[in-house]
Amino acid sequence: MKEMEVELLRLIEKNANLEVEKIAKLMGKSTDEIKELIGHLEKKKAILGYSTLIDWAKVLDKEEVTAMIDVKVAPARGVGFDKVAERIYRFPEVKAVYLMSGAYDLSVTVKGKTMMEIGHFISEKLSTLDSVLSTTTHFVLKKYKHDGIILEDEDEGDKRIVVSP
């Protein structure tokens, strides 16, 4: 059962768009079995959602601006970093928050339409939080690979000869 779950998750991790019928054929199971398994994994929140990886630069004139912000915070007694992390991750412009080991505490990824917009968020919302001690902002200049996918892959075509022994 566990093996089946892992195999299914690996398949849809790579391609959430894969039809149930195809998953069933690939795994040698019936479509009902696969539907049930997906339902089960959704229920126990192993599957949290189905998002699409988009290269917005291909569609919009200007790509959104992404910033990764290193945040130093003062943890609060009893709740540690969790409370301040929550204060931060509830903002919709915040796309990711991780507690980090090392020189700073929280890594916060923010997306905005312009650099100004992100600057505004940092100066008005983030750095004004009581427990935030300092912020260091890094703007993303170019994305090469995101979530395991290479964005500007050169010729991916099949380089093999057509027929071989």
Residue 62: CB minimum distance to other proteins, A: 32
Residue 9: CB minimum distance to other proteins, A: 12
Number of residues interacting with other proteins: please give it, by CB under 8 A: 15
Asked if 27 is part of the footprint of other proteins (rule: CB under 8 A), the reply reads yes
Q: Which of residues 48 and 161 has its CB atom nearest to other proteins in the complex?
A: 161
Asked if 28 is part of the footprint of other proteins (rule: CB under 8 A), the reply reads yes
Asked if 165 is part of the footprint of other proteins (rule: CB under 8 A), the reply reads yes
Choose, by CB under 8 A, the member of 16, 26, 99, 115 that binds other proteins: 26
**In this structure, what are the phi and psi dihedrals at residue 99, rounded to the nearest 5 degrees?**
-85, 130
Alpha carbon distance 21, 4 (integer Å): 16
**In terms of Cα–Cα distance, which of 153, 112, 126 is closest to 69?**
126
Alpha carbon distance 8, 5 (integer Å): 5
- Amino acid found at 76: A
Identify residues 122-161 at the interface with other proteins (CB under 8 A): 158, 160-161
Q: For the chain, what's the residue count?
A: 165
Give CA angle at 122 (63, 87), nearest 5°: 110
Asked if 45 is part of the footprint of other proteins (rule: CB under 8 A), the reply reads no
Binding site for other proteins (CB under 8 A): 7, 10-11, 22, 25-28, 158, 160-165
